[in-house]
Structure 1
Amino acid sequence: MTPPTLTAEILTGCSEEHLSALANGQLIHQQMQPAWQKLQQAAAADGITIAIASAFRSFQRQAAIWQAKCEGTRPVYNLQQQQVEISKLSGLKKLEAIMLFSALPGASRHHWGTELDIYDAAAVTSDYRPQLLQSEYSESGPFNRLNQWLETEAAKFGFFRPYKKYRGGVAPEPWHLSYAPIAKPYQKALTMQTLQNCLGQHPIAEQQAVLANLAQLYQTYVINICEDNE
């Protein structure tokens, strides 16, 4: 399959031409499928059933999440997993509170199809709904074994965790897996100008504040990640 030409629409979640559907209907980057299958198979051999909680998200989907958090109809949490009263915040403070756990529409790595939020289905009952909380991946959590397994095995298949540690931007996300061979060039291609153009064409909640602070947000929350050797 010939890979699609990388466009601003792909980078910002406004196109699905680079994606393939998995058996469960989740969409991932078509070039990532072989590596993803090998990762799953290797984990299964060690008694871990890697399942996807979230894969590709479109600009529209991310914008809906963003708007709900801006309006306070979807909870916003701080680093201690305590709910924030978002109605009491405004401007940059409000944006920073949301972006601790939710990406700016147009700047979510999930737009690329290279990012997966994962959990171990073998470690919980079939009706368990993953919350994607750090406690679930801690020593006492059900997904600690998966967390430790990824530490040594993920890189063998080209994957890394961009939010493994807190670097002053996005909160730690031990569940977030990224496919480096595609994600790295995509991140380099997602310039601030590309993002600004996207938001100019597709306005979002808190648009004025976002554009006024875009340079800082881009540096702190978009390109500020853990590299695969950290």
Structure 2
Amino acid sequence: MLENLSIKHPYLYGLQQDHLIDVDGILLESQTATAFVNMANAASNDGINISICSGFRDFNQQLNIWNNKASGKRPVLDINSQAIDIAKLSGAQLMRAILQWSALPGASRHHWGTDIDVYDVNNVSKANLQLITDEYSEHGPCSDLYQWLKQNSAKFGFEHPYQTGKSGVSSEPWHISYRPVSDTYLKAFDINDFNTVISAADIHLKNDILKQLNQLVENYVYRIAF
């Protein structure tokens, strides 16, 4: 079992959730939860109804996303959110294509409970939300939310880790991170422990991942916008 691996901080890789609390059915790190409630209350005063569509995801949830994309059971999208024909890709190319939008299991910031995907429930339902850039750009249902976040979220400790030209992952205007805690977790991330986790996991493209693990961690874990 991955939960029994000999690593220093299992919660960094989505293998523990003892540090989390429940906020309306979403698991969050405790300080993040308090900061989010404060931010949501402030946004509400400005007519923005911030809701969380994704908070904590454990290792197995991220593994299912990864394996479903690698096996063709779930679409792999390009930078313009258009589906890619993965049959034409090598293993290494497919790995990179998936990483445009989806983190490696064990390397997702959603494992920490400090990072959340948000939307404006006043303008779009969770059922209809696609989490694509157009929804947060001008005239999109979450455009006002995104503009509000850019102006105000840092006051509450939240910032966007994935921004065009500043991060390995494609720009995600819906993804915000509570920096006072997530910065600490990022510093504690250990590539040797991550190697142990990936090596023990039943993950598609494992050989391609392990061959480039150092580079992948540098580009997709450490390379963020702040």
Which TM-score band (shorter chain)?
A: over 0.9
CA distance, structure 2, for counterparts of residue 79 and residue 36 of structure 1: 29
- Aligned position for 1:90: 90
Whichever residue aligns with residue 11 of structure 1, its letter is L
CA distance, structure 1, for counterparts of residue 126 and residue 199 of structure 2: 42
CA distance, structure 2, for counterparts of residue 210 and residue 156 of structure 1: 37
Q: Tell me whether 165-174 or 77-86 shows the greater mean CA deviation.
A: 165-174
- Aligned position for 2:3: none
Whichever residue aligns with residue 135 of structure 2, its letter is E
CA distance, structure 2, for counterparts of residue 38 and residue 7 of structure 1: 32
Percent identity, please.
42
Q: Return the offset for 1:129.
A: 1.9
Whichever residue aligns with residue 32 of structure 2, its letter is M
- Aligned position for 1:3: none
CA distance, structure 2, for counterparts of residue 218 and residue 196 of structure 1: 10
- Aligned position for 1:133: 132
CA distance, structure 2, for counterparts of residue 34 and residue 167 of structure 1: 28
Alignment check: 8 A CA contact 1:92 1:213 kept = no
Q: TM-score, normalised by structure 1?
A: 0.91
Encode CA deviations 1:72-126: one digit per residue, 9 max, x unaligned: 11001111111111122123211110000000000000000001000001123x5
SS at match of 2:177: strand
Q: Return the offset for 1:7.
A: 4.6
Alignment check: 8 A CA contact 2:167 2:225 kept = no
CA distance, structure 1, for counterparts of residue 8 and residue 120 of structure 2: 34
Any gaps of 5 or more consecutive residues in structure 2? 1-6
Q: Return the offset for 1:200.
A: 2.2
- Aligned position for 1:198: 197
Alignment check: 8 A CA contact 2:161 2:167 kept = no
CA distance, structure 1, for counterparts of residue 165 and residue 72 of structure 2: 25
CA distance, structure 1, for counterparts of residue 8 and residue 46 of structure 2: 39
Q: Return the offset for 1:8.
A: 2.2
Is residue 17 from structure 1 mapped to residue 48 from structure 2 by the alignment?
A: no
Q: Return the offset for 1:165.
A: 2.2
Any gaps of 5 or more consecutive residues in structure 1? 1-5
Whichever residue aligns with residue 62 of structure 2, its letter is Q
CA distance, structure 1, for counterparts of residue 120 and residue 148 of structure 2: 11
CA distance, structure 2, for counterparts of residue 31 and residue 167 of structure 1: 26
SS at match of 1:68: helix
1:1-230 maps to which residues of 2 (within 5 A)? Answer: 7-23=8-24, 25-124=25-124, 126=125, 128-167=127-166, 169-227=168-226
Q: Return the offset for 1:66.
A: 0.3
Aligned-pair Cα RMSD in Å = 1.5
